Chain A
Amino acid sequence: LVLTQSPGILSLSPGVRATLSCRASQSVSSSYLAWYQQKPGQAPRLLIYGTSNRATGIPDRFSGSGSGTDFTLTVSRLEPEDFAVYYCQYYDYSPGITFGPGTRVDLK
């Protein structure tokens, strides 16, 4: 299983909507698709699990959707603290645990 994320870099201004894409090389279960946020010098943080469920403490401006091979993370209105790298991930016993290459959200 290969996960592809697009775009590689997203340059946006605070307050706008961000849409990040994750595409799987084969159809996967939406129960095991997650998104993580990582800021420089920090460990990753789980944002979304099971495609659309927000992890504990995650603001509701973050939302996830998708099915089959196409999944999306949306940040409804970018806050200054949201500029970071975002990884999608698939986790299941088969075909195993895989991360996408990441999308960096930069301040425009």
Chain B
Amino acid sequence: EVHLSESGGGFVQPGGSLRLSCAASGFSFSTYAMSWVRQAPGKGLEWVASIIGSGDTTYYADSVKGRFTISRDNSKNTLFLRMSSLRTEDTALYYCAKSLFYGDFWDWGQGTLVTVSS
């Protein structure tokens, strides 16, 4: 059974940094593209970033490009999201998600909450 568990969320001031982690189990982690998707309180879903199985190629939403970095450690079955220059509008529940292709999110974690506020 696929299991995704996010951690690392918390409270941070504008301009600050945070690193999210997503521990994966129940599948061959290095085979699949992984992504981060966020949801601001009471709002819809917003794709943030994706990384292919090998980790060689990454993709970002324009809203986070240059500020966020997605990476993975296939030896530890873990996905990361390094967030810097955080803004109040980055406040959201951040989900990690597993794809079969790219962007088709078959499995999701329960999310970790990031709050950016002064």
Residues on A lying within 8 angstroms of B by beta carbon are 32, 34, 36, 38, 43-46, 49, 55-56, 87, 89, 91-93, 96-102
Contacts and interface: CB of A to CB of B under 8 A. Distances in A.
Dominant SS at the B interface? strand
Contact of B103 (A38, A43, A87, A91): A91
B106 to A, nearest CB: 5
Contacts of A93: 59, 102
Contact of B105 (A46, A98, A102): A46
A101 B104 CA distance: 17
Contacts of A34: 104-105
A43 B44 contact: no
Interface of B: 35, 37, 44-47, 50, 59, 61, 95, 99, 101-106, 108-111
Contacts of B108: 43-45
B45 A87 contact: yes
B95 A92 contact: no
Identify the 6 closest CB pairs spanning chains A and B, nearest first.
Answer: A91-B103, A43-B108, A97-B47, A97-B103, A99-B45, A102-B44
27 contacts: A32-B101, A43-B108, A43-B110, A43-B111, A44-B45, A45-B108, A46-B106, A55-B106, A56-B106, A89-B45, A89-B103, A89-B105, A91-B102, A91-B104, A92-B102, A92-B103, A93-B59, A93-B102, A96-B59, A97-B59, A97-B61, A97-B103, A98-B47, A99-B44, A99-B45, A99-B46, A101-B44
